[in-house]
Amino acid sequence: MRSACLVVALWLGAVLLPGACAYADAFSGLGSARPDEMLGAISTLAVSGDPQAGTVLRALGERHLFAAPDGGLYIRQGETCVDARTGQPVATVPDGLKPVRLNNRIRTALAGAQASMALLAPQAETRLKAADALYARHDPAMVPTLEHALSVEKDAAVRTRLMQARAATILAQPAQQDTQDQRLEAVRSLAAVGGLEARGILAGVAQSDAEAPQVRHAAQAAVSSMDWHLRAWSVAQNAFYGLSYGSVLLLAATGLAITFGVMGVINMAHGEMMMIGAYVTWMVQQAIRVSVPALEPVAILVAIPVAFVVCGGMGVLIERGLIRFLYGRPLETLLATWGLSLILQQAVRSIFGPTNIAVQTPAWLSGSVAVGGMDITLNRLAILVFAALVLGGLMLVLRRTPLGLQMRAVTQNRRMAALMGIRTPRVDALAFGLGAGLAGLAGVAVSQIDNVSPNLGQSYIIDSFMVVVFGGVGNLWGTLAAAMALGMGGKVLEPAIGAVSAKIAILVLVILYIQRHPRGMFPVRGRGVES
């Protein structure tokens, strides 16, 4: 990479500015406190052809560039320091080194400079990325650079992108009399690209009074056709949001579907089990960071079984120590577990402090992929998949394992199950542990999208109960359907009436639905249910 930059820089220097002479000035401008000087220095440096330019600019972007009071510039690499101008290591680090400061304006310029340098990189992939960056940036000053790159580019994909970038850049320039045709073509080119970025540029053109009428009209037409497209995609996008929100609700509710739906324990400490799951995630991340830093990106995967075991174990303890004295008195379980939730919250507050803790999101869970006109954020997608896996796994456990069979037997007829030789206390403890473990899994997932603080559980408990009850107590399919219905409903309503009203509307709809169907969406039927 570094050598590539060097080559590019040399090449640039050779072609554009033979006999570059201002490099000392350019470098010293980087250490300036004035943004204008820095911007000038960056653009000069980009075209200077200096062998160090690429390295220095990268160091600047990563905030590894330091300025000494005497105007010297140094790049810090771990414990050692390198002179920025020469690339030679320095034996003694000068006193008073300060990092060179960036702001968003400088960052933008820096990205442009780096992209313009990368346009001539040997790898097509690098050039394509650079073209992407310049397209997004569409800085009028870049037209010559783009023209030059186009004149030498062979790769078809990169060429297309460069043309689009040029079109965007041309439209970013103020309109002039003689550029009409060029601009019209640019508008057409961008209209074909589509997407929010292009829409942004075209909308600017469409509103501009300086623009020639036919260019303006073409831009207006392009914008309205794009809006139509975007609107169609936004339906799909909303559907994804709904699914994703529903999957969070589903994860939060599955554990409750076991403890509450199957066992009849109104477990108000369910949210706290989620909270503990999230804290376990954090602890696992910290432990891995300290012990095996190489595994850091997959710490979250390690956290999944750990959280399940820790929360499940706590669940078993809670069942043995508290819940088992309260069977047949569901309301008492509400009071006792409410007390328990207060204790757990305060305990976490005492141990970890009351503030949020920072659970890292690994790089492979950050960002999004574009699918047509919509963005699928990776962490949400991962949660969606995770929720499906958890639900599927739970179904398997309930249907295919002895524990599942015993659990169903115990909940259907405790006495008969006991007579058949099932150790009901053990089944109770394991079932409650399973529910708590599932809450722990939900905690791992939630740590990727929400605050992790002692209050985490409180924000999910009401929604979780709502989901279980809405779906029909004791029916996992009902829980799935309810979570998705509530998630979708909320997200469909939200753009129209706002987040708060959407939430209120959903609550009212649930209330009314329960009036019509007093046992939820999927009631457990049969003669023995009532009385």
Residues between 378 and 437 that touch other proteins (CB under 8 A)? 378-380, 411, 413-415
Selected from 466, 482, 483, 521, the binder of other proteins by CB under 8 A is 466
Nearer of residues 120 and 201 to other proteins, judged by Cβ: 201
350: how many CB neighbours lie within 10 A of its CB? 10
**What distance in Å separates the CA atoms of residue 91 and residue 279, rounded to the nearest whole number?**
44
End-to-end Cα separation, the chain, in angstroms? 75
The nearest distance, CB 11 to other proteins, in angstroms, is: 27
Which span (119-127, 304-312, 326-334, 387-395) binds other proteins, by CB under 8 A? 326-334
Enumerate residues 6+ apart whose C-beta is below 8 A from 235. Answer: none
Does position 375 interact with other proteins (CB under 8 A)? The reply is yes
| Diameter over CA atoms, the chain | 96
Q: CB–CB of 99/75 below 8 Å?
A: no
Selected from 97, 143, 150, 302, the binder of other proteins by CB under 8 A is 97
Selected from 6, 102, 184, 395, the binder of other proteins by CB under 8 A is 102
Does position 113 interact with other proteins (CB under 8 A)? The reply is no
Does position 357 interact with other proteins (CB under 8 A)? The reply is yes
Nearer of residues 122 and 367 to other proteins, judged by Cβ: 367
**Binding footprint of other proteins, residue count (CB under 8 A):** 131
Which span (4-12, 44-52, 149-157, 373-381) binds other proteins, by CB under 8 A? 373-381
Does position 494 interact with other proteins (CB under 8 A)? The reply is yes
Residues 220-259 that bind other proteins (CB under 8 A): 230, 234, 237-238, 241, 244-245, 248
Helix (H, G, I), strand (E, B), or coil: what is residue 90?
strand
Selected from 17, 124, 334, 405, the binder of other proteins by CB under 8 A is 334
Selected from 4, 17, 203, 403, the binder of other proteins by CB under 8 A is 203
Does position 519 interact with other proteins (CB under 8 A)? The reply is yes
Amino acid type, 495: P
Nearest partner of 94 among 113, 118, 69, 117, judged by Cα: 69
Does position 291 interact with other proteins (CB under 8 A)? The reply is no
DSSP-derived secondary structure for 238-249: HHHHHHHHHHHH
Does position 360 interact with other proteins (CB under 8 A)? The reply is yes
Which span (182-190, 303-311, 339-347, 435-443) binds other proteins, by CB under 8 A? 339-347
The nearest distance, CB 360 to other proteins, in angstroms, is: 5
Enumerate residues 6+ apart whose C-beta is below 8 A from 209. Answer: none
In whole angstroms, how far apart are CA 372 and each of 245, 365, 415, 524?
Answer: 21, 20, 57, 42
Nearest partner of 250 among 508, 13, 460, judged by Cα: 460
Residues 39-78 that bind other proteins (CB under 8 A): 63-64
Does position 127 interact with other proteins (CB under 8 A)? The reply is no
**What distance in Å separates the CA atoms of residue 485 and residue 470, rounded to the nearest whole number?**
10
Does position 476 interact with other proteins (CB under 8 A)? The reply is no
Q: CB–CB of 149/115 below 8 Å?
A: no
Does the CA dihedral 424-429-430-435 come out positive or negative? Answer: positive
What are the tokens at 352? 């970890």
The nearest distance, CB 55 to other proteins, in angstroms, is: 17
